[in-house]
Chains A and B, each alone.
Chain A
Amino acid sequence: MKMKDKHIIEILDNASIAALSESELNEIRAHVLECMSCRDAYEAARLSAAVLKSRARVAIEPSPFFQTRVMAALREQQAVESVPAIWRLWRSSKALVSSMAVTTAALAVVSFMLPSQATPVAEQPSVYSAYSVIMDRDADEPMSYEQVLSTIYEDEDDAR
C-alpha cells in the first residue's frame, strides 16, 4: 500500500518533520491534497515544529560575574559546612530557645515568689439560707380566713 492511500498522522507523530526525507515529504504533500483530516494534522505538525525551533534558539548567556558568584556561593557553603552541626542547630533555634526560657522564668516568678493576692470572700447569706427559706415559706403560705378578718378589724380599730 502506498503512503498516498494511508493516513499520515502516525508518521507525523513518529518523527520530527525536519527528520523526514524530501521524498517522504513529497508523498505527504500529495496525500494531504486529498485527505482533509491529514491536511489539518500536517499543518499543525509543521507549525509546531516551527515554534519548537524558535523556542530551542532561546539561549541565555552567562553574565561575566557568574563565575565569581558561583565561587562565592561555594565558599559560603563550605563555611556553613565547617561549623559543627550542634552549633548550627543552636544558631538557628537560639531565638526560640531564649524566648521559651524567659517565659518559663517569668511564670516561675509569678507562681512561687510573689505573695498571694487572693482575699477571702466575705460570708454573705446564701440566697438559699435557712432564714430566707423560712421567710419565703411564711410569705407563700396562704393565710387562714380568721387571720384575714382579724387583720382587717385590727386595722379598723386602730383607725378609730
Chain B
Amino acid sequence: MDLARQAQDGDESAFAEIVRRYSPRVFSVASRFFRQRTLVEEAAQEVFLKAYTQLGSFEGRGSLEGWLTRIATNTCLNMVRSAKRRPEFTVSDLSDDEQNWLEQQSAGDGGEPASVENSLVATDLADRLLSVLSPEDQQALLMIDGEQASIKEVAEATGWSESKVKVRAFRARKKVREAMDKLLSYKNKRASSTAD
C-alpha cells in the first residue's frame, strides 16, 4: 500500500518499483492470452499505463497484485476481442506431430509431456482446442483446469461472480472435450486408413 500511495502522490520511482515487482505477475496473465513475446509485452505495457492513470481508484482494500491482475485480465480480454478472428477449429489439419502426441498420450497415462518438443505440440493442440471458446471462457478454463485455480480465485481475477465462473468453466470444459473427441475420432480414422 505504501508503494501505491507514494505512486499516487506522483513519486515516479515508486511506480517504477511497482512495475519491477509486479511485471512477472502481469506477464503471466498476458501469457494466458498470447504466445508471442511482442504481444505479451505490448499488453503488459498497456496494463501499467492504465494502472498509472487509475492509481487514484485503488483504495487499498485488496492487494495491489490482485488489483493489477484484474486490470491485466480485462486489458488482455479487450485486446483479444478487438483482434482479428482466429482461424476456426478444424480437425483435418491435424499435423503428424499432433497425431503422434495423441497416440502416445492415449497409450500412456496422460501424464506430463516428456520433452520440450512434446510440450510445444501439446501447447499447439491446446490453442487449437481453445479456439472454439470465447476469450472469457478460455480464461476461466485455463485458470481452473490448467493452473488449478479455485473458482474464487478466478472470480477475484476477473471481477465475475463465482456462479458466472462456474457456468463459464462448465460450458468451456464441455466444448473443449467435444472438440478433443472430434480430433480423436479423426486421428483414429486416419490411422485406420493408413493401416489399410
- A24 interface contact, C-beta 8 A: no
Q: CB within 8 Å of B: which of A102-132?
A: none
Contact B181 A40, beta carbon cutoff 8 Å: yes
Contact B44 A58, beta carbon cutoff 8 Å: no
Place the interface of chain B in its size category: 35 or more
Q: How far is the CB of A99 from chain B (nearest CB, A)?
A: 32
Q: Which of A12, A17, A46, A54 contacts B119 (CB 8 A)?
A: A54
Q: How far is the CB of B126 from chain A (nearest CB, A)?
A: 3
Contacts between chains A and B (CB distance < 8 A), count: 134
CA distance A67 to B114 in the complex (A): 35
- Proximity bits, A10-31, B CB within 8 Å = 1, else 0: 0011101111000000000000
CA distance A53 to B177 in the complex (A): 14
Place the interface of chain A in its size category: 35 or more
B56-64, B69-77, B142-150: which lies at the A interface?
B142-150
B residues near A57, Cβ cutoff 8 Å: 119
Known: A13-B170, A18-B148, A50-B105. A73 touches B49 (CB 8 A): yes
Q: How far is the CB of A2 from chain B (nearest CB, A)?
A: 23
B19-27, B83-91, B155-163: which lies at the A interface?
B19-27
- A47 interface contact, C-beta 8 A: yes
- Proximity bits, B128-139, A CB within 8 Å = 1, else 0: 011000000000
Q: How far is the CB of A17 from chain B (nearest CB, A)?
A: 8
Contact B49 A61, beta carbon cutoff 8 Å: no
Q: CB within 8 Å of B: which of A29-82?
A: 40-41, 43-63, 66-67, 69-71, 73-74, 77
Of all chain A residues, the one with the shortest Cβ separation from B111 is A50
Contact B40 A54, beta carbon cutoff 8 Å: no
- Proximity bits, B145-179, A CB within 8 Å = 1, else 0: 11110000000000000000000001001101110
Residues of B within 8 A of A (CB): 12, 15-16, 19-20, 23-24, 27-28, 30-32, 35, 37, 40-41, 44-45, 48-49, 52, 102, 105-106, 110-113, 119, 122-123, 125-127, 129-130, 141-148, 170, 173-174, 176-178, 180-181, 184
